[in-house]
Structure 1
């Protein structure tokens, strides 16, 4: 899946910072000419801290935080850049997130706005999916220290947004503009496997892939979850 992600996203960016968790050497598809604009980091079970450590010193430019299991369309970067121009300043734009109506619950699917479905209009949310998101490095400082847990990047990023009063905006898009690269079943539906963060979290397994500790920590960090918008927040200086 990662080879497909790199092939689709590399032509859209000026530089790609790639964290290879659990690897000691790059796979063959990352070797050879044509990959001079890729910076590699080899991490031993350091996600997401190691991932965000790679970009925390960047002071200017648009940061696109991506995952290794999503097919990114050819206009993906352009769409996010346009979104950040529409919502300037300290804003994180994306396509997947959580919109809480009462008690925050990161495992309640009824509170999730999925990137796989059509979103007819831009929507403010309390948490944005960190693998399908972007921000302007001048205004949003996202660092490794903001991610104390090995899983649950979305909830940890949500805490950072709440503390800084950053608006999180999901941009409108059509269904299947973004699709998962998970294996397709005989019924044509793509389902996550057993060895993924979502499955381990829902089953509350004793695993580093279980995001429940991070989710519980996130809820405890924020006394009142506020839907920050550009109307209730002063603009950048």
Structure 2
């Protein structure tokens, strides 16, 4: 049984040493501790939809996961901590979460990874407002949560070292993100942390410039990919040229 402790709200427990139900129950207690009102907000979103679209929204259909149990929607804090501890972050200073929801990762990084900076992007404005307010109360200096549509042609992925990617939006949206990252990988090494069937399928079937390297437990829902220096191309096609 994983118990919540205020003195150590995001403990490091090796993945495989806690169950999914334990991680969800612990995450719910942490949300309460942080003042995150996730349950009521998700209930309103499920009933009425979002009243706060992302700036420069593309107009593309978005899968926003309204109606899911919040603890199924969001990555548990225990999993976030275990994943970050498994990554060599020595020369990786900027971590970006693409589809960050309430910015849970930002709290973990702010408390336990003083050399790293966190930027999270989320389409649903209500989630951004709630997460950003909680980060401010938490005293976060290196973690920010921003309102953005990742599918918009106006959205520019920031220069960073580690990118977390999920099954947000649609397969087309995931492809747009992967092509944006491929451009960045033509000039620097990247680590991609993928969680979700669609994004992992897309990476492994269409993006040979990413090589799987997974040090996590076999039962982990997360897969790690490194950009492959041998497959960097001088010219990177656009998603349209690729038939997406």
Tell me the TM-score normalized by structure 1: 0.30
Q: Which structure features the higher share of helix residues?
A: 2
Instruction: Give the number of the structure with larger relative contact order, counting CA–CA contacts within 8 Å between residues 6 or more apart.
Output: 1
